[in-house]
Amino acid sequence: MKLLLAEDTADLNRAVSAALEFQHYDVDRAFDGEEALDFLRRESYDAVILDIMMPKKDGLEVLREIRARRDTTPVLLLTAKAEVDDRVAGLDAGADDYLPKPFAMKELLARIRSLIRRRDSFEGGALSYADVTLDPEGLVLLARNSVRLSIKEYELLRALMSNPDRELGTGWLLGHVWRGEPGAGEDTVWLYVSYLKGKLRSVGSAVTVRGEKGGGFALEAGT
């Protein structure tokens, strides 16, 4: 598996790359956003680890540029910022997951394994509900327009579309979408439901996600 690590703090870059290489990953190391983009133009990766706060171009700029090229490589953002608004900005830019600093190396490795495993496990054809279609090729949601989903957004929407007549509880979603990931709770589910509502609006769909924080959720076709 080949990874790109973009982190401008030399000691952290060295420590993380050493841990990844110990796990038999092939790692390219970048120390600023422009260098990261140079690697991404030349190489293909199984996953990318991007620090948000980098010189020349920050991680969000790098992320927006590669998503604009329709590059669907899974991206994990590293950030010292833990506020909800910062997480939202990263996920809106196309990140698949985020990990606030400081972090345990074991958690970083687990999240990388999860991103790669989930990317490789997508199978089956497109799903449709009312006026929307969910296409596993590129994790794309289509209605009047189209938008790329993060891996967790895709998994959450696929779960809802696969159970169109059933309300899925927060506990069920945590077990089947997040699979017991550390730190995931009802706030996490609610945050991603909110992201999906926004993505559905952005593609011009009348479909929304019905439900309240901590309860159950289901798709609603609207009119």
Q: What is the CATH number of domain 2-121?
A: 3.40.50.2300
* Token couple for 95: 């990140």
In this structure, the chain runs to a length of 223
- 3-class DSSP assignment, residue 144: coil
pLDDT higher at 66 or 89: 66
What is the end-to-end Cα distance of the chain in Å, rounded?
A: 46
- DSSP structural state of residue 176: I
- DSSP structural state of residue 149: P
Q: pLDDT tens digits, residue range 163-220? A: 776 788 898 899 878 877 778 899 999 999 999 999 999 999 999 999 999 999 999 9
Q: What is the CATH number of domain 127-220?
A: 1.10.10.10
Cα–Cα distance between 223 and 220 in angstroms, integer? 9
Domain chopping of the chain, boundaries: 2-121, 127-220
**Confidence band, pLDDT 50/70/90 cuts, at residue 82:** low
Among 115, 117, 157, residue whose Cα is nearest residue 133: 157
- Which strand (E) or helix (H) includes residue 134? strand 132-135
Give 15's contacts (C-beta < 8 A, 6+ positions apart).
105
Q: Contact 143/175 with Cβ under 8 angstroms?
A: no
pTM of the model: 0.60
